[in-house]
Amino acid sequence: MTVTDSAFLKACRREPVPHTPVWFMRQAGRSLPEYRKVREGIAMLDSCMRPDLVTEITLQPVRRHGVDAAILFSDIVVPLKAIGVDLDIKPGVGPVVARPIRSRADLDQLRPLEPDDVRYVAEAIGLLTAELGDTPLIGFAGAPFTLASYLVEGGPSRNHEHTKALMYGDPELWAELLDRLAGIAGAFLGAQIDAGVSAVQLFDSWVGALAPADYRASVLPASAKVFEAVAGRGVPRIHFGVGTGELLGLLGEAGADVVGVDWRVPLAEAARRVGPDKALQGNLDPAVLFAPPEVVAAQADRVLDSAAGLPGHVFNLGHGVLPTTDPDALTRLVAHVHERTAR
Ligand SMILES: Cc1c2[nH]c(c1CCC(=O)O)Cc1[nH]c(c(CCC(=O)O)c1C)Cc1[nH]c(c(CCC(=O)O)c1C)Cc1[nH]c(c(C)c1CCC(=O)O)C2
């Protein structure tokens, strides 16, 4: 076995698999007591800059759950911090930006990302690939729209009103902002591929707030530029957002090899929307993990049944692991998916 032959990479390439591979968005994090222990007294962004901690935290869910892939412990705002944007991650809140970007002058905060800006990430990836053996490591970046939302709003937002005001009100400035963010995200993914990750995921978590026509006109070109920056590198590209049922076809069109699906659209229907030449990832509702074990198993089977016959399914949740999830429920779910799909 090598990483290349792993069930996860085979599923991304839509090749036959020994079992359906499974990993979880936010598998490294607050649901694990061993995570809370190593993070004690260390700020989130500081922990992302320490290769020893990044390595330990990334490995924790692999050891505990036996998932088919690791995801680098980092955050979508790490490359922004690395180029000098004044921001922090506030516990229980999320990324908070000191000087929101609302005018052309504010764009000065965004210079291009150089590999040296994130050398601690490359160092962590080197340590990780040595430890992980045959288990693939997924790198990631935030997509231009989702990064723009944090930068324009100044923090997490329910309605993205300032973001949309800029997008509709000053299309030229908006395009320039998204283009700069696309350059940063593409460079961040490129640095992770150079360092040895086996796949990359572009998180456009909040883009489900847009209508398809606006996505196509105002966001797709920037996300396509990110995927283009890492095309032809032999590394599958995954594209994910929440509430994107109406955008699934466009998320694929932007240049992904694998399209992530939240829990609102069954995978068989998602496959029709995405088209025949892409794999799918998803899509168990993360809240289902709070139900009794037999219910979790039955709901997982519903996901697997919907994906039956599709070439290329990576089992995942429809969004990240919720912080108060019982880790044993995740371990049982991995075992269940593996047993149910063993060929
Ligand atoms: C939108 C977004 C962010 N960050 C990320 C996204 C896209 C994924 C998604 O939609 O969930 C991506 C991310 N953030 C983190 C990872 C690690 C890898 C993984 O296990 O998935 C990944 C892939 C660690 C983290 N990033 C963050 C934490 C929690 C911080 C802590 O443990 O103190 C972790 C483990 C902080 C963060 N950073 C962000 C949010 C919304 C938060 C949570 C705020 C909170 O509730 O405390 C921005």
pLDDT, one tens digit per residue, over 152-197 is 999 999 999 999 999 999 999 999 999 999 999 999 999 999 999 9
Tally of structural domains, the chain = 1
Give me the chain's average pLDDT, please.
98
Asked if 148 and 97 touch (Cβ cutoff 8 Å), the reply is no
What pLDDT band is residue 82 in, cutting at 50, 70 and 90?
very high
Backbone phi and psi for residue 158, each to the nearest 5 degrees, phi listed first: -80, -45
273 is catalytic: no
CA-based nearest residue to 218, from 166, 154, 257: 166
**Ligand 1: residue whose CA is nearest its atom 35:** 29
Displacement of CA 201 from its chain's centroid (Å) = 5
Number of H helices, E strands in the chain: 15, 9
H or E, element range at 253: helix 248-253
First-to-last C-alpha distance (Å) of the chain: 17
Q: Locate 162 and state its tokens.
A: 């300032």
Instruction: Say which CATH number the domain at 300 has.
Output: 3.20.20.210
Asked if 135 and 62 touch (Cβ cutoff 8 Å), the reply is yes
| Distance in angstroms (rounded) separating the CA atoms of residues 317 and 300 | 10
150 is catalytic: yes
Predicted local distance difference test score (pLDDT) of residue 230: 98
Could you report the per-residue pLDDT of 106-149, keeping only the tens digit for each? 999 999 999 999 999 999 999 999 999 999 999 999 999 999 99
75 is catalytic: yes
168 is catalytic: no
H or E, element range at 151: helix 144-153
Asked if 157 and 149 touch (Cβ cutoff 8 Å), the reply is yes
Domain of 337 in residue numbering reads as: 3-341
Amino acid letter, 133? G
| Distance in angstroms (rounded) separating the CA atoms of residues 273 and 279 | 12
User: How distant, in Å, are the alpha carbons of 12, 15, 202, 277 from that of 229?
Assistant: 19, 25, 12, 20
Amino acid letter, 157? S
Annotated binding-site positions for substrate: 26-30, 75, 150, 205, 319
- Burial label for 135, CB within 10 Å (0-12, 13-18, 19+), is buried
What pLDDT band is residue 42 in, cutting at 50, 70 and 90?
very high
Displacement of CA 277 from its chain's centroid (Å) = 21
Predicted local distance difference test score (pLDDT) of residue 231: 98
Helix (H, G, I), strand (E, B) or coil at 107: helix
Top pLDDT among 309 and 255 is at 255
CA-based nearest residue to 189, from 153, 236, 131, 253: 236
Predicted local distance difference test score (pLDDT) of residue 160: 98
**In which residue are the tokens 């020893």 written?**
52
Could you report the per-residue pLDDT of 262-290, keeping only the tens digit for each? 999 999 999 999 999 999 999 999 999 99
Which residues does a 6 A CB cutoff place in the pocket of ligand 1?
Answer: 25-30, 39, 44, 71, 73, 75-76, 89, 91-95, 140, 146, 203, 205, 320
Beta bridge partners of 259: 239, 280
Residue among 34, 50, 76, 240 to mutate when testing ligand 1 (max atoms within 8 A of CB)? 76
Helix axes 144-153, 220-229, angle to 10 degrees: 120
Percent of the chain past pLDDT 90, that is, above it, reads 99
Whether the pLDDT of residue 1 is over 90: the answer is no
User: How distant, in Å, are the alpha carbons of 45, 57, 69, 154 from that of 182?
Assistant: 22, 28, 26, 19
Helix (H, G, I), strand (E, B) or coil at 201: strand
Percent of the chain past pLDDT 70, that is, above it, reads 100
| Distance in angstroms (rounded) separating the CA atoms of residues 97 and 154 | 5
Asked if 267 and 313 touch (Cβ cutoff 8 Å), the reply is yes
How far, in Å, is the centroid of ligand 1 from the Cα of 172?
A: 30
Q: Exactly one of 35, 64, 102, 150 is catalytic; which is it?
A: 150
What pLDDT band is residue 217 in, cutting at 50, 70 and 90?
very high
